[in-house]
Amino acid sequence: MTLSMETRTVESGAVTEIYISATPTADAPAEKQAEEIFSGIRDILRSKKAHILQERLFTVRNATETVRTFRSKVFGDIDDGVTPSFLLGRRGAAGPLAGVQVHAIIGDRPQTINLDGVLCGRIFRTPERSFLTLSGISAKGVRERPRQARAMLEKAQTALKQFGADFICVPRTWMWLGDILNWYNDFNKVRNQFFIERGLIGKGSRQSMPASTGIGLALAGGGKCGMDLTAVLAPADSIEFLAAVGRQQCALEYGSAFSRASRTVTPAGQTVYVSGTASIDAKGVTTSIGDIPGQIENTIENVRAVLKDMDCRDDDVVQVVAYCKTTEVEKVFNGLRSRLAWPWITVICDICRDDLLFEIEAAAMPRR
């Protein structure tokens, strides 16, 4: 077996949430890695009678079609037609398929969401709660980058409106920006304006910014940008947006409209979403420039500071991604990662600043 399959499960009454993190433990051809990973995920889902809520695959461009083909072949009727986010980075130590994340639910089968003839998300309802996910939202038909980002955000807004929702219902977004270093500032301007128009930020607002990751991964379907999100439709006003928490201050102070974390109800309990976090101090300045171990240590401590402020322990972490700028950074990180028994997936890609070498995002579900 050349596979690591880590599962985190949280139960509450009739509903159970399952987080699966599957990673190769050795380099191998894409077809071998894909068959092992998707067979392992399939077996867990079938044995628990669970349904996928959201799914992400971290791979490289020349392996995409192989991975896609094996996923379809292995999953069979587990696949409800919603395309997961196929995210393209650079090849790392694990080989062509860095890993797969699945958030699943034991309960009624989620309803699929259709947008412009494409199944792009799911909604799960209980008598008390309604939870929505969207994956791989893009507007690749729009050529110019800022306009494409605006159209992408409007497309996500259209999907939310189908269920009487808005971005105020969104605790977490992921922004996939394959060429991030060349236009992150322009992207931030577009997002800031979009949020101002919707009253999420600006004069008289509560700064209701989702926790977010903006990272240098591209969607396999093409385009300059793409996004995933989660939304809570019920109960209303159940999201706490934490603009400044842990050891870092509000990112909006240096032009980026996201909260450091958010806390919200999810189907089986409560989830804390920790935004993409790097080696940045309280003034928004990059620390330990050029120092790989230093940036890794600072980043981990910044994430743990958020978790501590949210009353989360290390063993409450259910999902985590470590983004490494180079294979050299990955090598150093792999020598340190065993100190935390988190369900790591490690991906090689650019971070939002040229002097940042490492970033972590996480989700935690306090079990107390």
pLDDT digits (tens, 9 = 90+) for 219-253: 998 999 999 999 999 999 999 999 999 888 999 98
For residue 100, give both structure tokens: 């797969």
Q: How many CA atoms lie within 13 A of 162 on its CB side?
A: 20
**What mean pLDDT comes out for the span 39-47?**
98
Question: Is it the case that residue 150 has pLDDT exceeding 70?
Answer: yes
Q: How far apart are CA 80 and CA 76, in angstroms?
A: 9
Residue 83 in 3-state DSSP?
A: coil
Question: Is it the case that residue 367 has pLDDT exceeding 90?
Answer: no
DSSP H helical segments within the chain, as ranges?
30-48, 64-75, 145-161, 180-197, 292-309, 327-334
Question: Is it the case that residue 344 has pLDDT exceeding 60?
Answer: yes
**Residue 60: per-residue pLDDT:** 98
**For residue 346, what pLDDT band results from cuts at 50, 70 and 90?**
very high
Any residues with CB less than 8 A from the CB of 358 and at least 6 apart, and which? 278, 279, 292, 295, 296, 299, 322, 323, 324, 325, 329, 333, 351
**What mean pLDDT comes out for the span 288-308?**
97
**Residue 368: per-residue pLDDT:** 60
Contact 104, 18 (CB under 8 A): yes
**pLDDT tens, position by position, 247-280:** 889 999 889 999 999 999 999 999 999 999 999 9
**pLDDT tens, position by position, 194-213:** 999 999 999 888 899 999 99
Question: Is it the case that residue 148 has pLDDT exceeding 70?
Answer: yes
Contact 17, 268 (CB under 8 A): yes
Residue type for position 363: A
**pLDDT tens, position by position, 66-86:** 999 999 999 999 999 999 999
Contact 173, 195 (CB under 8 A): no
Backbone φ, ψ for residue 126 (5° rounding): -125, 175
Question: Is it the case that residue 37 has pLDDT exceeding 80?
Answer: yes
What is the architecture of the domain spanning 3-364? 2-Layer Sandwich (3.30)
283 vs 296, more confident: 296
Residue type for position 238: S
> What phi-psi label fits residue 169: left (phi over 0), alpha (psi between -120 and 50 degrees) or beta?
alpha
Query: Rounded to two decimals, what is the model's pTM?
Result: 0.97
**Residue 78: per-residue pLDDT:** 95
